Amino acid sequence: MVMITASSIKQRLTEPENVKIVIGLLGSDPAPSRRGLAKKICHRLDLRDGNGDLQMATTSKALGELEGQGLWTLPERRTSGPQGWNPTRLRESVAAPRGMPEVLEEVAGLRLIEVADEEHLRIWNELMIREHPLKACRLVGRQLRYLIASDHGWLGGIGFGSAALHMEGRDTWVGWNISQRSECLERVLNMSRFLIRPGVRCHNLASHVLGLCARRVGGDFQRRYGVSPWLLESFVETGAYDGSCYKAANWIPVGETKGRGRNGPHKAGKSIKDIYLYPLVDDFRDRIGVKPATIEALRMESGLDSAGWAGQEFGNCELGDQRLTDRLVKIVSVQSAQPNGSYSQANGGQRHDLKAYYRFLNNEGTELNLESMLKSHRSQTIRRMKNQETVLIVQDTTDLNLSTRSHCEGLGQIGTNQTGTISRGLRLHSSLALSQEGMPLGLVQLHGYAPQSAEGKDPQRPIEEKDSYRWMQGFEQAMEVAALIPDTRVINVADREADMFELFDLQRRQTGRKAELLIRAKSDRCLEATELKLFQELAAAPLATTVSISVPRQREHLSKPSTPGRSEGRAREAQVEIRFKEVTLIAPNAAQTRDLEPITLWAIYLVEKNPPEGATQVEWLLLTTIEVLSAKQALKCIRWYCRRWRIEEWHRVLKSGCNILDHQNHTAEALLRAIAIDAVIAWRIMLLALLGREVPELPCDVVFDRYECEVLDLLKKKTG
């Protein structure tokens, strides 16, 4: 049987002969209730789903929407009870689970039970009404419920209903048009209830349950309603929860709600929530009929002229108000003319313009965040990346010490000095896209936050709750970009802090066009089929070649209670021996990783045998998902890794060229907005400087306007 969709039911009801049928039924004596009318219409027009059941809910909805268009007037809604809904419940609260372990592997009999009878429905309702933050809110449309069961007792519940009608983050990510959304929205299920009971404390339980549910819900929904769902959606209360269990279960964050409720712009006053999606089928876009977005390549030097570059990099930002976007473009244009000075200096002290600048930075709108401010620049960055055969996305972190800003609210703890005094500030974690030659193409992501001390926290907590999770989030961005530009090879490069087994496991689990990893190893890991550990195994590998590599200047690092200091070192050339080998890493014996399968990677080992006196010996071990079968391939990976220092140069431009540590904002939120502007300005400064060195034949008018070129020409003649 071919199922009739919601849009086709609405179309059929608007046909003249069917309008007459509805009006005739409404005029009968006695007049039918809304439900009775929907039932009669379903019988008369044979409106049934894939299982042959009457499409009562969809027909009722269509009747109500057409009433709003003036086709007819429906009877008043009938309600039961004081609030129109009296759910069946138990007479007492659900008993708390007994002997519940804190380790997932020790939970006995963990399973999902579909709610299909009144007994289980009473338990489910009682749990939600008493223990879920949303209490007695009803599910909407086609519904599916599960209880989370175990031998220890009931651990929680899950509930699905109809998807939100309008949601910008979801709709943009899916890419469907209005017609496609109307036709296929019933293929999206909204997980509007997810409860792990407050008294249950078990590591990784929530993400594991989400995985169990994703494997079951498609088949159960198809069996019950005759419709095969393609996509799940859910929401996480912003500020109250960080969504770590969703991320661990591979749900995809796609933005925030607008606070307007399920029905879109006509309802308001709801809280802002993060949107998460989970595809149940890989080809859901093909089934919907969505064509892949076309990304046009952009040359790296295109649009960098002083007159138009700010509009190119920021002009398409969606900040909730076009006036905010226009103001942002103006701020960037003004600030970039004098990046090392304050905005007051850059705009010549114009009072009204300066006031508008601070109003922008202190705007209370939730849509004015780092992601939305950099969205347009990120799109242009991806266009520049598409113009390359291979791109490197380099991740790195830098701390901003703002301890002297006692007036600034929202700062975190970035460290302690030798006396134990806490240093306050912010942490920036960035992903900078580079060409193979090291030319900066733009920022893929900029994540700024106030770090908190890990003292007293459980070291066995999920990776999603640790500060190091930022490396995995950065790689998720790289995977997303790789899917958008499948003809470009994307390689994520990072230093030793990113040496996490979970990161390589994440790369292994990605589907489609894969992003690669090139990471400097920190941990001497155990290997499969050998008693030697990683560094010993590579040191014993055959010598592939000996080469000279450039070692950049080493900045001085003061010692800390946890780490020794490092004296400043000059830039030099180092003679190194190179070895490489395929290795299989065994998962660390930690709660989060012990059940993961071993991972096979390629390792490249280089060591300086005779370093100059006083110099730090060069010894790197690189782990990569890139196949390395020859010394030439190993050298290429080493050259790519050497490009990692470009992001440290960008950090220096940020701090010394744009003076981001001199900002005097009173909140961390405003400070990060100012830094987001400086971050893109610093990228442009560095690119212009490198273009001058690497491409000296580039025409002057590519970067400067006509008058600037004339001034430069006069200066050249004068100095010549």
3-state secondary structure of 261: coil
> What is the token pair recorded at 3?
């199922």
Q: How confident is the model at residue 79 (pLDDT cuts 50, 70, 90)?
A: low
Token match 């933005």: residue? Answer: 255
Task: Give phi and psi for 254, each to the nearest 5.
Answer: -125, 10
The pLDDT of residue 139: 85
The span from the first CA to the last CA of the chain, in angstroms, equals 85
Highest mean pLDDT among 76-80, 316-320, 335-339, 541-545: 541-545
The pLDDT tens digits for 204-239 are 899 999 999 999 999 999 999 888 999 999 999 876
Q: How confident is the model at residue 1 (pLDDT cuts 50, 70, 90)?
A: very low
Q: pLDDT: is 159 or 406 the higher one?
A: 159
- Does the pLDDT value for residue 265 go beyond 80? no
What span, in angstroms and rounded, lies between the C-alpha atoms of 68 and 442?
A: 49
> What is the token pair recorded at 33?
């209730």
> What is the token pair recorded at 689?
């400087």
3-state secondary structure of 607: strand
The pLDDT of residue 373: 94
What span, in angstroms and rounded, lies between the C-alpha atoms of 349 and 356?
A: 12
Is the alpha carbon torsion for 103, 107, 111, 117 positive or negative? negative
3-state secondary structure of 110: coil
Strand ranges in 552-653 using DSSP code E only, listed in sequence order: 572-585, 599-608, 619-624
Is the alpha carbon torsion for 44, 45, 47, 48 positive or negative? positive
Look at the chain and count its residues: 720
Q: Could you tell me which of 568, 609, 612, 603 has the C-alpha nearest to residue 585?
A: 603
Q: pLDDT: is 137 or 664 the higher one?
A: 664
- C-alpha distances (whole Å) from 276 to each of 132, 233, 245, 248, 290 are 19, 6, 11, 12, 20
Mean pLDDT along residues 647-671: 93
> What is the token pair recorded at 7?
């849009």
Task: Give phi and psi for 617, each to the nearest 5.
Answer: -60, 135
The pLDDT tens digits for 682-694 are 999 999 889 877 6
Exposure string over 566-581, b if 16+ CB within 10 A, otherwise e: eeebeeeebebebbbb
Task: Give phi and psi for 293, each to the nearest 5.
Answer: -65, 135
What span, in angstroms and rounded, lies between the C-alpha atoms of 478 and 431?
A: 9
Residue 46 class from Cβ within 10 Å (0-12 exposed, 13-18 middle, 19+ buried)? Answer: exposed
- Does the pLDDT value for residue 656 go beyond 60? yes
Mean pLDDT along residues 716-720: 66
Token match 């095969």: residue? Answer: 228
What span, in angstroms and rounded, lies between the C-alpha atoms of 488 and 671?
A: 35
Q: Are 273 and 237 in contact (CB under 8 A)?
A: yes
3-state secondary structure 284-323: HHHHHCCCCCCCCCCCCCCCCCCCCHHHHHHCCCCCCCHH
What span, in angstroms and rounded, lies between the C-alpha atoms of 331 and 311?
A: 11
Mean pLDDT along residues 190-204: 92
The pLDDT tens digits for 661-674 are 999 899 999 999 99
3-state secondary structure of 379: helix
- Does the pLDDT value for residue 258 go beyond 90? no
Angle between helices 668-694 and 370-386 (to 10 degrees): 20
Q: Could you tell me which of 615, 382, 566 has the C-alpha nearest to residue 486?
A: 382
> What is the token pair recorded at 322?
């076009």
104-288 and 510-556+568-643 agree in CATH topology: no
What span, in angstroms and rounded, lies between the C-alpha atoms of 301 and 387?
A: 11
Mean pLDDT along residues 407-417: 87
The pLDDT of residue 707: 55
- Does the pLDDT value for residue 428 go beyond 80? yes
- Does the pLDDT value for residue 148 go beyond 50? yes
- Does the pLDDT value for residue 270 go beyond 70? no
Is the pTM here over 0.85, yes or no? no
Amino acid in the structure at residue 619: E
The pLDDT of residue 5: 64
Exposure on the CB side of residue 663, measured as CA atoms within 13 A: 29
Q: Are 479 and 471 in contact (CB under 8 A)?
A: no
Q: pLDDT: is 140 or 542 the higher one?
A: 542
φ/ψ region of 21 (left if φ > 0, alpha if ψ in -120 to 50, else beta) reads: alpha
Q: How confident is the model at residue 138 (pLDDT cuts 50, 70, 90)?
A: confident
Residue 668 class from Cβ within 10 Å (0-12 exposed, 13-18 middle, 19+ buried)? Answer: buried
Q: What one-character-per-residue DSSP string does 512-563 give?
A: SSPPEEEEE--S--BBTT-SSBHHHHHHTSPP-EEEEEEEPPBPPB---SSS
Mean pLDDT along residues 110-132: 94
> What is the token pair recorded at 604?
């490249």
Mean pLDDT along residues 570-596: 88
The pLDDT of residue 421: 79
3-state secondary structure 413-470: EEEECCCCCEEEEEEEEEEEEEECCCCEEEEEEEEEECCCCCCCCCCCCCHHHCCCHH
Mean pLDDT along residues 416-430: 84
The pLDDT of residue 369: 87
Q: Which residues contact 140 (CB under 8 A, 6 or more apart)?
A: 161, 162, 190, 192, 262
Mean pLDDT along residues 76-97: 75
532-535-536-541 Cα dihedral, nearest 10 degrees: 110
Mean pLDDT along residues 284-293: 87
% residues pLDDT > 70 (the chain): 89
> What is the token pair recorded at 338?
């004098």
Least confident of 47-51, 433-437, 545-549, 581-585: 47-51
- Does the pLDDT value for residue 654 go beyond 60? yes
What span, in angstroms and rounded, lies between the C-alpha atoms of 133 and 241?
A: 12
How many helices (H) and strands (E) the chain has is answered by 22, 17
The pLDDT of residue 6: 63
Q: Are 252 and 278 in contact (CB under 8 A)?
A: yes
| 279 strand-pairing partners | 231
Q: pLDDT: is 318 or 352 the higher one?
A: 352
Give domain limits for the chain.
Answer: 6-68, 104-288, 301-484+668-695, 510-556+568-643
Q: What mean pLDDT, rounded, does the chain reach?
A: 87
Task: Give phi and psi for 403, each to the nearest 5.
Answer: -60, -25
Mean pLDDT along residues 368-377: 90
Q: How confident is the model at residue 512 (pLDDT cuts 50, 70, 90)?
A: confident
Mean pLDDT along residues 412-418: 80
| 396 strand-pairing partners | 430
Q: Could you tell me which of 171, 181, 189, 170 has the C-alpha nearest to residue 289?
A: 181
| 667 strand-pairing partners | 409
What span, in angstroms and rounded, lies between the C-alpha atoms of 320 and 373?
A: 11
- Does the pLDDT value for residue 708 go beyond 80? no
So what CATH class is 104-288?
alpha beta
Mean pLDDT along residues 183-205: 93
Q: Could you tell me which of 375, 376, 386 has the C-alpha nearest to residue 294?
A: 386
Highest mean pLDDT among 113-122, 177-186, 300-309: 113-122
Q: Which residues contact 181 (CB under 8 A, 6 or more apart)?
A: 171, 174
- Does the pLDDT value for residue 266 go beyond 70? no
- Does the pLDDT value for residue 80 go beyond 50? no
What span, in angstroms and rounded, lies between the C-alpha atoms of 145 and 143?
A: 7
The pLDDT tens digits for 521-566 are 999 999 998 999 999 999 999 999 999 988 877 666 555 555 555 5
What span, in angstroms and rounded, lies between the C-alpha atoms of 154 and 90?
A: 14
Token match 């690669």: residue? Answer: 516
Is the alpha carbon torsion for 171, 174, 179, 181 positive or negative? negative
Question: How many C-beta atoms surround the C-beta of residue 355 within 10 A?
Answer: 10
The pLDDT of residue 32: 87
State the CATH architecture for 510-556+568-643.
Alpha-Beta Complex (3.90)
Question: How many C-beta atoms surround the C-beta of residue 509 within 10 A?
Answer: 9
